[in-house]
Amino acid sequence: MDSERISSRVFAGLLAELGLYFTLDDMVETFIGNSMARCEEIVTERLGFAPPDDLVERYHALTREALAREVQPVDGIIKLLDDLDVAHMPYCVASNGEHEKMRTSLGATGLLARFEGRRFSADDVTRPKPAPDLFLHTAESMGVRASDCVVVEDSPLGVRSARDAGMTVIGYADLISASRLKAAGANAVVAHLSLLGTLLGLSK
C-alpha cells in the first residue's frame, strides 16, 4: 500500500504545530521504518522535551481518517498476490506499524481478507525493527525457516532487520533510493512489483 506519504504528511502537520518543520524528504530520512515509540523518542530529542501526551493518539486518529480516504494499493500488487497464490507460495505482512493501521490500510485497499491471520506487527514483539525480532517471530508463526524467507522492504531499517534475521532481502525503491537500500544490505532492488515477480520466478 502507498501509505507512507499519507502518514508522513499527517505526522509532519502535527509536528509543525510543535514548531518542528519537515519536508517529505526529511520525514523519509528521519522517521520511515521506525516504530512509533522510536518516532516519539526522536521528536523528544528534537524538541528537547517530551511532546504532548495526546500526540500519538491524534496521529493515529488523523492517519486512520486520511488512509481510509486516500490510500491506494501499490501498482502491481494484485497481480503479484495472484501469482503467489497460483504458485502456492505463502506470504504475509510484517510491519513496524500497529495492527490497527494495517487493518485500516488493507481494508481501504480491499486487501484485508488476503492477509487474514497473516499480519504481524511490532506490537507483537519486544524489540521492533531494526532488531530482527519481528521477522523471526513472523517466520516462526508461518512455520518456515528464516533462511527460506524473502523479505520485501522499502526502508534501510527494514532491510537491516531482515538481513540480521538471516533472510534474503529485496529492496523496493519508492520513497527511498535504490542505492540506499543496497547500502543497507538488500540483495537486490526493484522499482516496480512486476520485477519482483520475475525475481521470484512467478512471471516472465
Closest CA to 107 of 196, 59, 99: 99
55-70 and 36-47 are packed helices; what angle lies between their axes, rounded to 10 degrees?
120
d(CA 45, CA 165) in angstroms, rounded, equals: 29
Tell me the pLDDT tens digit for each residue of 70-120: 999 999 999 999 999 999 999 999 998 889 889 999 999 999 999 999 999
- Contact yes or no for 133/127 (Cβ under 8 A): yes
* Enclosing domain of residue 153: 77-199
Cα 54 to the center of its chain, rounded Å: 24
Same domain, 66 and 91: no
Tell me if residue 93 falls in helix, strand or coil: strand
Q: What is the pLDDT of residues 125-184, one digit of tens each?
A: 999 999 999 999 999 999 999 999 999 999 999 999 999 999 999 999 988 999 999 999
Distance CA 25, CA 98 (A): 23
* Whether residues 141 and 119 fall in one domain: yes
Q: Are residues 31 and 50 in the same domain?
A: yes
Structural domains in the chain (count): 2
Task: From 70, 89, 106, give the residue that closes a domain.
Answer: 70
pLDDT single digits (tens) 172-196: 998 899 999 999 999 999 999 889 9
Q: CATH number for the domain including 130?
A: 3.40.50.1000
Are residues 65 and 101 both part of a single domain? no
Tell me, what's the pLDDT at 204?
A: 55
In a domain, 63, yes or no: yes
The grid coordinates listed for 149 are 524467507
8 A C-beta contact, residue 106 and residue 129: no
